[in-house]
Amino acid sequence: MNSSTQEQVLQIRKCGLNDLERVTALLREFGYPTTLSVMKERMEDMETDPFHCTLVAELDNEVVGMVGLRKVRSYYKQADCITEITALIVAEELRGNGLGKRLVAAAEEWARQKGCCELFLRSGNRVERAPAHAFYRHIGFEKTAGYRFNKSLL
């Protein structure tokens, strides 16, 4: 972290409905089109679901990052349960300061508390995702083979 970030107070905590505006802005900054009303509906649904969790990184009372988590059971893995990181975002101007690593560490702790023994995420293979891929490898994730297939049901 740079010296100015070290002096600031970082807190990782559960996301609340009062964080929606900033979380929505982070998602939009990252390229996920959404609105405040859509995010409010999603967060209200997830808030009562014990298999979902959204954590935020708050730096001097401003939300500057978030991680979305989902506990899943697998038919093909021996692990009883695994946790998926469904979103991991740090404000662009603060990347490289350790905030993403701290968010992932908090995600690992949540997963362990849920009895999970593995953490995974999916990431696109576009060239602009290369820095994110390097970050994932740097903090201990291993790249595995696979494809993601989508089919619209609308």
Specify the CATH number for the domain of residue 61: 3.40.630.30
Residue 69, pLDDT score: 96
Is there a contact between 81 and 21 (Cβ–Cβ < 8 Å)?
no
Over the stretch 57-102, which tens digit does the pLDDT of each residue have?
999 899 999 999 999 887 766 667 899 999 999 998 999 899 999 9
Residue-wise pLDDT for 5-60, tens only, equals 456 788 999 999 899 999 999 988 888 888 888 888 888 888 888 899 999 999 98
Q: Which of 81-85, 119-123, 124-128 has the lowest mean pLDDT?
A: 124-128
In this structure, is residue 154 part of a structural domain?
no
Q: Helix (H, G, I), strand (E, B), or coil: what is residue 149?
A: coil
**pLDDT at residue 150 above 80?**
no
Domain count of the fold of the chain: 1
Inside any domain, residue 43: yes
Strand extents, DSSP E, 31-135: 52-59, 62-72, 82-90, 119-121
**144 — pLDDT class (breaks 50, 70, 90):** confident
pTM: 0.85
Asked, for residue 114, whether it belongs to a domain, the answer is yes
Question: Can you name the residues that pair with 70 across neighbouring β-strands?
Answer: 52, 84
Asked if residue 147 is part of any domain, the answer here is no
Both structure tokens of 16 = 């609340």
Residue 78 has what pLDDT? Answer: 64
| Cβ contact 72:115 at 8 Å | no
Q: Look at residue 3 in the predicted model and tell me its pLDDT.
A: 46
Q: Give me the pLDDT at residue 77, please.
A: 65
Q: In which band, very low, low, confident or very high, does the pLDDT at 111 lie, cut at 50, 70 and 90?
A: very high
**For residue 10, what are the β-bridge partners?**
59
Q: HSE of 93 in the Cβ direction (CA atoms, 13 Å)? A: 5
**In terms of residue numbers, what domain contains 80?**
3-138
